[in-house]
Structure 1
Amino acid sequence: MTAEQALTRLLEGNERFRSGRPAAPNRDGRRRADQAGDQTPFAVVLGCADSRVPPEIVFDQGLGDLFVVRVAGNTAADHMTLGSIEFGVRVLQCPLVLVLGHEKCGAVQAAVSARTEEAPPGGHLGALIGPILPVVPAGRDRDRDLDAAVMANVRVQVTHLAEEFPGTRVVGARYALVSGRVDLLA
C-alpha cells in the first residue's frame, strides 16, 4: 500500500465514522486469528492520549490496521515515542505517519495557561508541556491561542518526524470533537 492509499483509507474511514455509518472492519474472530502471528498496520498514527480521540474509532479501522502511538499533546519529543514510531515505520513498513491533534487538547491548554499565566506546572506535567510551549502564541485570547497552538504543534511534529524518517510521508491533521471530522493541515 502506498502512503496516498493509506491516507485515502484513513479519510474514508473518518467519513464513515462522522456520518454515523461505521463499518467497524476487521474486528471479528478471523481478524484476531490473522493478526495473532504478525501485525500488518498500514499507517502509524501519533495521537493524543485524550479519551475522546481514539484513532481506531475516529478512522473506523479494526484490529491491526493502525500502529497507534498516543501521548498527551501528540508530541514526539522523547526516545520512547520516537522509538515506537520508528518501529512502525522501519519494522512494520508503514508508508504513512499521521500526526493527529484535536480541538480543546488538555495538554496544549496547559501550555497556553502556563504561557498566559506565567505559572508553568512542575513535575511530569511540566515536562509534558515543555515541547509545546514554543508554539503557544504570546496573545491573551485563550480560545484563539489554544486552537492556533494545537495546529502549530501538529505542524512542528510533522516537520520533526519528516526529518527523523526521510522517505516516509508524514502528514498532520486536526480532529473536531463535535463533528468528528478530521481535516488535513497544509
Structure 2
Amino acid sequence: MSKSANSIAGTASSKQEDPVQLNRRRFFSAAGGVLALVGLAACTSPQNSATAPNPVGDHAPAAAKAPSTPGQALEMLKTGNSRFAEGRPKHPNQTSQLRSDLAEHQEPWALVHGCVDSRVAPELVFDQGIGDLFVTRTAGAVLDDTLVGSMEFAVSSPYEVPVIVILGHTACGAVTGTVEALEKNAKSPKAPGEMIDFISEIAPAAREAEPVPDKSEHINNVVRMNTVAVAAALVERSEIIRAAVNAGRTEVIAAVYDLQTGLVDWNPVVA
C-alpha cells in the first residue's frame, strides 16, 4: 500500500472534522533556527585561482518576476532547490538596495512551513531572497491555532500566495523523539515540558507507519506520513485556505527535504 499527497489542491472538502485528529492545544512552536552559509574557497595560489564564488550581497542578481500562479510558484521553488543541491546558488534578491526598498512593502509569493531544524532553512533550501517567502516553523512541522492563523494571513489579501509547502525532512529529531517515546509507552507517550504537544501531533503517523528493520528508514517513513497528514489537515482545518484551494488560487504541497542530498522530494510516498 502506498500513500502519496504531493498536492492537496482540488481535494479539499467542506467538512470540518479533522482527519488526523489534531490536538487543538497550543504546540511547541519556534521561530526557526539559523543555518550558517558555508562557502569554502579552494586553497590555491593566485595563478591557480578556483572558480569565482557565488555572488552575494550587493552583487547578487535579481530574481525572475514573482510568480502569480501555483504552477509558476512551484516551478520557481523546484528550480531554486536544484541550484542549492548542486552547489550553485544564485542568492537572488539580497542587495542592500532591495532591503531598503522592501522596508515599506513586501510581495512574497510562497509560504513554506517546515521544521525548526537548523539545517533546513527554507530561504537557503529554495535559493530565494529577501521578501520572497513567508516562513513558519515548528518542531516536526506540526500545526497549532496561531500558526494556522498566520498561514491564513499569507493566503489572504493583499498577499494571496499561490503555493503553501509543508516541508518535512529526513532524520527529523521531533519524529525520532516521538517514535522513541512510543516505544517506551505506546498508549501514553511522555515528554518533558511542552514537548509532549508536538509528540502528540506526530504520534498518529508514528503509530500508523509499519516498522521496518532499518530504524532510520522507519523514521523517514513517519516523516513522510506526518508531512502528508499535516498538509491534508491544514486544508481541512482552515476555511480560508480551503476556499483558496477550491478556487484554484492556492495549492498546498507536501514535500520532504533530504539532509544528505539537499534535494526536496515533491512526491513523498510511503510503501
TM bucket by the smaller chain? over 0.9
Q: Which has the higher contact order (CA 8 A, sep 6+)?
A: 2
Distance 1:43 1:169 in 2: 10
Once the two structures are overlaid, the 10-residue window that deviates more, 140-149 or 78-87, is 140-149
**Greater Cα radius of gyration, structure 1 or 2:** 2
Q: Could you say which residue in structure 2 is the equivalent of 1:67?
A: 134
Structure 1 unaligned residues grouped into runs of 5+: none
The Cα shift of 1:5 comes to: 0.4
Higher helix residue share:
1
Residue 198 of structure 2 is aligned to residue 128 of structure 1: yes
Once the two structures are overlaid, the 10-residue window that deviates more, 86-95 or 40-49, is 86-95
1:45–1:98: 8 Å Cα contact kept in structure 2?
A: yes
Change (3 A) 1:113 1:16: same
Structure 1 runs (4+) deviating above 4 angstroms are none
With structure 2 as the length reference, what TM-score do the two structures score?
0.66
Structure 2 unaligned residues grouped into runs of 5+: 1-67
Q: Could you say which residue in structure 2 is the equivalent of 1:174?
A: 256
1:172 is matched by which residue type in structure 2? A
Aligned-residue RMSD, C-alpha:
1.4
2:145 is matched by which residue type in structure 1? H
Q: Write the mapping of 1:1-186 to structure 2, written as runs, cut at 5 A.
A: 1-76=68-143, 78-91=144-157, 92-118=159-185, 119-136=189-206, 137=209, 139=211, 141=213, 142-163=215-236, 164=238, 165-166=241-242, 167=245, 168-185=250-267
1:102–1:174: 8 Å Cα contact kept in structure 2?
A: yes
Work out the number of aligned pairs and report it.
185
Aligned-residue identity in percent = 40
The Cα shift of 1:144 comes to: 2.7
With structure 1 as the length reference, what TM-score do the two structures score?
0.94
1:158 is matched by which residue type in structure 2? A
1:116–1:140: 8 Å Cα contact kept in structure 2?
A: no
